[in-house]
Amino acid sequence: MLLVPLVLIGCSSVGSIAGAVVGAATGGATTNPVVGYAVGIGTKVLVDQLVFYIGRRRQQGEQDEIAAQVGALPIGVSAPWKIDHDIPIGNEHGDMTVVRQIDSPLATCREVVFTVVDGHAADSPRGVFVTTACQQGPRWKWAQAEPATARWGFLQ
């Protein structure tokens, strides 16, 4: 049952479908539609939260991969980046260029311009994006808050 949200992670109706199936089965088994409805709603909420959690974990992996390469890349140099998830669905890649370094008493940060291409395709990128990564001890971390656009999907 846990593999269904993983396979259909891009489908926004997974929770609704799971809730309807489990609710109908429970309502039929208990002969009480109120119990079936309550179980169906609970299942929908749990599956939706599971899909959201999986998406956020995958997003964090992508952001961490980009940020790790930002620290090693000299300013003005372009390099490819890619992420290979444990479950090979939605592996993304692209190119990145560190455009400037921002030194302050609080942190050393770098601004990076990058592209994102879905999967293993050699298609043109979905767009060009700009972000900031800051050094946090020995590693670099994604420093941007949630963007105000949905065009990045789970990468936002």
Same-domain check for residues 44 and 112 = no
Of residues 92 and 19, the one with the higher pLDDT is 92
**Residue 23: inside a domain, yes or no?**
yes
Query: pLDDT digit string (tens) for 93-131?
Result: 888 999 999 998 888 999 999 888 876 556 666 778 888
Same-domain check for residues 77 and 149 = yes
Spatial separation of the C-alpha atoms in residues 26 and 45, rounded to whole Å: 16
Query: pLDDT digit string (tens) for 40-83?
Result: 888 888 888 888 887 778 777 788 888 888 888 999 999 998 88
**Residue 60: inside a domain, yes or no?**
no
Same-domain check for residues 77 and 135 = yes
Tokens of 104: 């302050």
Tokens of 146: 């949630």
Spatial separation of the C-alpha atoms in residues 132 and 13, rounded to whole Å: 33
If pLDDT is split at 50, 70 and 90, which confidence band does 12 have? low
**Residue 58: inside a domain, yes or no?**
no
**Count of CB atoms within 10 A of residue 129's CB?**
21
* Maximum pairwise Cα distance, the chain: 67
Q: Note down the domain range covering 17.
A: 3-53
3-state helix, strand, coil in the chain (%, to 5): 40, 25, 35
pLDDT tops 70 at residue 1: no
Same-domain check for residues 49 and 77 = no
* Tally of domains in the chain: 2
Residue that is written with structure tokens 């999986």 in the block: 54
Same-domain check for residues 100 and 45 = no
